[in-house]
Amino acid sequence: MKHCWGESVRAEVKKHTEQEEYWFREGCFITEIANDDGDLACSIARARVEPKETTAWHMLVGTEERYIIIGGRGRVDIGDDFQQEVAAGDVVRIPANTRQRITNTGDEDLIFYAVCTPPFTSACYKFA
């Protein structure tokens, strides 16, 4: 669905609200930041992985994902052969249909924004 001027993004400011963080079966905490009809091109969530924890192997079918690391440090695994250390300021790019996981290798929470295109839906999420 496109908006009246033909774009997938509506001109607006999505105001910050105190969203509730929830435990996601992947092994991390999620806060939905933006996943609504104001932006049909992407969704944004804040993820938090506790120290020494690793998320489950998973993939997003038909959805590309970017992690924008804002706190902590960790290691990301993408596909079968890619592994890289990450820290605040790093951007991780994950192709659609590619298995992935992230490990918090530090002593404080690993926090990042997950930006998905097209927007995340529960139907695209698969354990891998």
Does position 40 have pLDDT exceeding 80, yes or no? yes
Asked if 80 contacts 10 with a C-beta cutoff of 8 angstroms, the reply is no
Cis peptide bond N-terminal to 119, omega within 30: no
Confidence class for position 6, pLDDT limits 50, 70, 90: low
Does position 16 have pLDDT exceeding 60, yes or no? yes
* pLDDT for the residue 1: 46
Rounded Cα–Cα distance for residues 76 and 105 (Å): 10
What percentage of the chain has pLDDT greater than the value 90?
A: 86
Q: Which domains does the chain have, with CATH numbers?
A: 27-127 (2.60.120.10)
Rounded Cα–Cα distance for residues 13 and 7 (Å): 16
What tens digit of pLDDT does each residue of 73-105 get? Answer: 999 999 999 999 999 999 999 999 999 999 999
User: What's the chain's average pLDDT?
Assistant: 93
Closest CA to 76 of 90, 89, 63, 62: 90
| Rounded average pLDDT over 35-48 | 95
* pLDDT for the residue 3: 46
Asked if 124 contacts 60 with a C-beta cutoff of 8 angstroms, the reply is yes
Whole-prediction pTM value? 0.91
